Amino acid sequence: MPIGCVSFHDAMRWGAELNLVLRDLLDAKGLGHVNRGAVGGFAPQLNSTEEAIVIVKDAIAKVKEVHPSSGISFGLGVHVAAHAFATVGVDGDVVYNLDKWVAGSKGLNKGGYGSFNGRLHAHLLSYDRDEVVDILREWCRQHQVMTIIDPVDIKDIKIACTLNRSENEVVDAGNSDAADGVGGDPSVKVQVVGHAFLQHTKLETLHEERACNTILLHLSQYGTVTAAVQAVVQARVLGLSIIVGCDAGTVDDVFPVDFAVGIGCGQVKMGGLLSAEGVVRYNRLAGLSTDDPRAPSYAGATFRR
C-alpha cells in the first residue's frame, strides 16, 4: 500500500508504478507475469511465501531507486488466510502447511509424509500454532510486514491474541518509528486483521480476546447494508479499525467502494490492477476523489484514525 501520498490519484499512480516494476522484475527473474491470481495480482510459481515477500520488497526498492526524491514508501501486507491450509486433528489441535499449494513444498513446510488419524497423508509434518506465530513475527521484524490478515485458523483465536500482543503491546523503546505507529495510530505497529474470524466469532469476542486490532469487512458477510453499517459502528466502539474489501469475481460491482467512502474508511482491499473489476473500482475511487469541495478527504498517512 502506498504511504505518504497527497491524494488518492497520487496513491493510485504509485501503485501502478510498483505494479509495472514488479512485472519487469518477474520477467527478469524468468518467472513470467502471465498467470493472474483470483483477485487480480501476479501469480508466479514461487517456492515459498517469503520468496514472494522478498520479490515485492525488491520491486519497492527499485521504485525508490528510480524516484529517489518522491518521499513515497509502501506498507507490506500479507493475506495469510490460514484457515485454507489448516488441518484440525481429533484432539482439536491445529497444524499448518503454509506452502500447501507450492510444488514440492520447499518453503515453510517441513515436507514428507505423516500419520494422521490412522491414515498416511502428504505434508502432514507441518507447523504447529506456536511455530506459525514465530514465522509471522519474523516476517514483521525482518521484512517490516505492516498488515497480516487471518494469521491463524478460526479455532486458534487465542493464538492470534498472542501475535497481536507480541507485536503491539510490547513497547520497543529503541525503535523510534514505533512511536508513530501504523496509519497514525501510536498503539499499533502491526495490523492483525480478522476476516474469516467474522464469519464465526462475534466482534465482542474478538475484542475481548485481543485477537485482532483491525477487521476486513466484505458486504457479502452480511444480509443487508444495515447489518454491515451496524458492524462498522460496533467495530469503532470497540476500537477496531476497518478495511473494506470485496469478493473475487464480483465483476463491475462498485458498491463496496461507495460503502467504504460513505463510512469514512481509511483502507480498502479491492483487488489487483490485473483484473478489470479491480480497475473499475479504483477508477470509481478516483472519480469520488476529485477537487470538488464536497468530495471526501483523503486519509493519507493517518488511515487508521
Least confident of 98-102, 145-149, 190-194: 98-102
Domain 8-84+127-302 has CATH 3.20.20.120: yes
Does residue 297 carry a pLDDT above 90?
A: no
Q: What mean pLDDT comes out for the span 44-60?
A: 90
Q: How far is 301 from 296, CA to CA, in rounded Å?
A: 15
pLDDT reading at 128 higher than 90: no
d(CA 5, CA 124) in angstroms, rounded, equals 45
- Examine the pLDDT at 110 and tell me if it is beyond 80: no
Among 234, 231, 89, 110, smallest CA distance to 153 is for 89
Residue 174 has pLDDT above 60, yes or no: no
How far apart are alpha carbons 62 and 289 in whole angstroms? 28
Q: Cell numbers of 61, please?
A: 526498492
pLDDT band at 79 (very low <50, low <70, confident <90, very high): very high
What pairs with residue 81 in β-bridges?
none
Domains of the chain, residue spans:
8-84+127-302
266 in Cβ contact with 231 (< 8 Å): no
CA dist 128 and 115 (Å) reads 15
Residue 221 cell numbers, joined: 458477510
Among 9-13, 167-171, 178-182, top mean pLDDT goes to 9-13
Q: Which three cell numbers stand for residue 273?
A: 490492477
User: What is the pLDDT confidence band of residue 120, given thresholds at 50, 70 and 90?
Assistant: very low
Length of the chain: 305
Among left, alpha and beta (phi > 0; psi -120 to 50; other), residue 281 is alpha
Mean pLDDT confidence for 185-213? 92
In terms of Cα–Cα distance, which of 136, 140, 134 is closest to 151?
A: 136
The span from the CA of 188 to the CA of 91, in Å, is 34
Question: Do 55 and 62 contact (CB within 8 A), yes or no?
Answer: no
Average per-residue pLDDT for the chain = 84
In this predicted structure, what is the pLDDT of residue 115? Answer: 36
pLDDT at 51 over 50: yes
